[in-house]
Structure 1
Amino acid sequence: MATFHVMSDAESRVAHPQIRKISIGEVWDAFLLGLDDFRQQPSHYAFLCMIYPLSGVVLITWSSGANLLPIIFPLMAGFALLGPLFAVGLYEISRRREAGLDTSWQHALEVRQSPALPAILTVGLMLLVLFVTWILVAQGLYVSLFGPQPPQTLSVFLSQVFDTRAGWELIVIGNLVGFCFAAVVLATTVVAFPMLLDRDVGAVSAVETSLRATVTNPAPVAFWGLIVAVCLIIGTIPIFAGLAVMMPILGHATWHLYRKLVVPETAPIAPTSDLATSPG
């Protein structure tokens, strides 16, 4: 039976995988490889990712109905902070394709059998905390500029934002703060989730390796962040539906970016279900 472990691996060790220095061209190549993965069976990948746009619509509907118009945009922008977690099943599909294994959509669900699942959920919890913190900060910024009384209608809210000095302060400061949150997520998770699927190294090693990859490759990782931002913006049109295509492409590309950034282990890739039954 596998040993329960979260922060380190099954032997209570924290691994420090070797990082490669890559070029911006290799980042673009990873994106193209992700696009190629998506082209193989796009219908079921889109199906898997429909939860993302649907959840976005639900969040917007909920916030509008609850008279929480000021946090609609923070919800839309902040929801992307959870993207790396939602794409875990897609990393698994790309991993299996690389290993020459069956890539039927049901294998995306095999992540639940991974011995690294506790660590994956722990890093996911970190993202959830960042998401909630971002929403609270965004709400606090609005209150500091406009007071605690929410706008009564959408037209009033839009007038506040675009026709007042305080509104433009909200736009500028809010986007700067949001950029900081996005940068933290990018730096701490750029390879974290795919690495946990590939190697049961624990949450600490996954986050630490992501940070080292970012420090070693600041320009390529920043370029990757730009690709993600552009794809997510495109994906929100119309009404988040495009995310059903953009999310799987980015998910697959993240796997290939991980392969380029982190030196692989010598052992061959095994199916997740096989890893789950290995002694630990």
Structure 2
Amino acid sequence: MGVSLTARRERAPAVVIRRISPADLFAALRAGFDDFRQVPTQLAFICVIYPVVAVLAAKLTAGYRVLPLFYPMATGFALIGPVAALGMYEISRRRERRLPVSWRDAFAVLQSKALPHIIQMALVLLVVFMLWMVVARSTYTALFDPDSMGSLSEMTYQMVSASGLILIVLGNFMGLLFAILTLSISVVSFPMILDRNVDVPTAIRTSLAVMARNPLTMLLWGLIVAVSLLIGGLLLLVGLAVAIPVLGHATWHLYRRLVEAPALERR
């Protein structure tokens, strides 16, 4: 059974949302891992991840003002993770259609007709990320004097104080709200834009409908993504070079399970 959404764009087919179970999540993960195994892209991700880490390390070395924001920046990466996985959606799409594919096809998304809508959706997530950083910094400055940050040991002392515990609890709670917001508006947005070239409002509306149709299952998916990124980050960030591509491929297959393909495509 599925729920139908009528797309506003002229002649666009109705969007049918399916109800899925946790078993579908793990089936999507298996399919995602198979895509990654057939077309490994970890080297490309290592080339992206390590320059970012180097920039952060340089800032930490140059001054400690960015230190309180390191955790929000690291966790906030999950908010823009769907953008990082764009190439994986394209690879999975090509494999699904039995087209020749290599890791270079991850960059074919830059030639997609849907690129303008992809950029617009990426900007939406960038705004969410920036809002998260503003909230995180405002929360920190409300509890601590930013000028009192003298060293890593000083920050450690602050975190174990009463105000530090409040910051940890409140910060993680607000981070959870931002994560749920991002999941709700983007769980199938990018795959759908790439697949059907729909506009951003249609993609977001479909993602919200997916969440409404499968609330507990999609929250479980969000937890799987968060834990995978956490483990990847703990493995000296090398794990992210595996976690992000696998999750990206899996998201494409999850989209296929959640959003029914148009009638012409099923023939």
Fold similarity call, TM over 0.5:
yes
Partner secondary structure for residue 103 of structure 1: coil
- In structure 2, distance between residues paired with 1:228 and 1:97: 23
Q: 1:47 to 1:150 in 2, by over 3 A?
A: farther
Instruction: Give deviations 1:248-270, integer Å, cap 9, x for gaps.
Output: 0000000000000001013349x
Counterparts of 1:216 and 1:55 in 2: how far apart (Å)?
40
Alignment match, 1:54: 50
Q: Does the C-alpha gap of structure 1 residues 58 and 29 become closer, same or farther in structure 2, counting only changes over 3 Å?
A: same
Compute the displacement of 1:133 (Å). Answer: 1.0
In structure 2, relative to structure 1, the CA distance for the partners of 1:212 and 1:189 (3 Å cut) is same
- Taking the aligned partners of 2:158 and 2:69, their CA distance within structure 1 comes to 14
Q: Which structure's relative contact order is higher, taking Cα pairs within 8 Å and 6+ residues apart?
A: 1
* 1:51 CA displacement: 4.5
Normalising to structure 1: TM-score of the pair?
0.87
| Cα separation, partners in 2 of 1:263 and 1:72, compared to 1, 3 Å | same
Letter in 1 for 2:56: I
2:221 aligned with 1:224, yes or no?
Answer: yes
Counterpart Cα distance in 2 of 1:74 and 1:16: 39
Deviations 1:157-216 (A, max 9, x none): 011102x00000000000000001110110100000011111011111111100100110
Correspondence 1:1-280 to 2 at 5 A? 16-42=14-40, 45-64=41-60, 65-67=62-64, 68-162=66-160, 164-268=161-265
Question: Which amino acid letter does the alignment assign opposite residue 199 of structure 2?
Answer: G
Q: TM-score, normalised by structure 2?
A: 0.91
Distance 1:41 1:115 in 2: 24
Task: Report how far residue 220 of structure 1 moved.
Answer: 1.1
Of residues 250-259 and 110-119 in structure 1, the stretch that sits farther from structure 2 once superposed is: 110-119
**Aligned amino acid, residue 245 of structure 1:** V
Moved more, 59-68 or 138-147: 59-68
Rounded Cα–Cα distance in structure 2 between residues aligned with 1:52 and 1:224: 25
Structure 1 gaps of 5+ residues are 1-7, 270-280
Larger mean CA deviation between 249-258 and 194-203 belongs to 194-203
Give the letter aligned to residue 84 of structure 1. Answer: P
The answer to whether the 8 A contact 1:46-1:244 is kept is yes
Where do 4+ consecutive residues of structure 1 move more than 6 Å?
Answer: none
Structure 2 residue aligned with 1:273 = none
Q: Which residue of 2 aligns with 1:3?
A: none
Given residue 57 of structure 2, which amino acid in structure 1 is its aligned partner?
Answer: T
* 8 Å contact from structure 1 (residues 70, 150) kept in 2: no
Helix, strand or coil: the match of 1:241? coil
Structure 2 alignment gaps of length 5 or more: 1-6
Sequence identity percentage? 43
Q: Deviations over 1:7-38 (max 9, x none)?
A: x98x6677651100011111111111111111
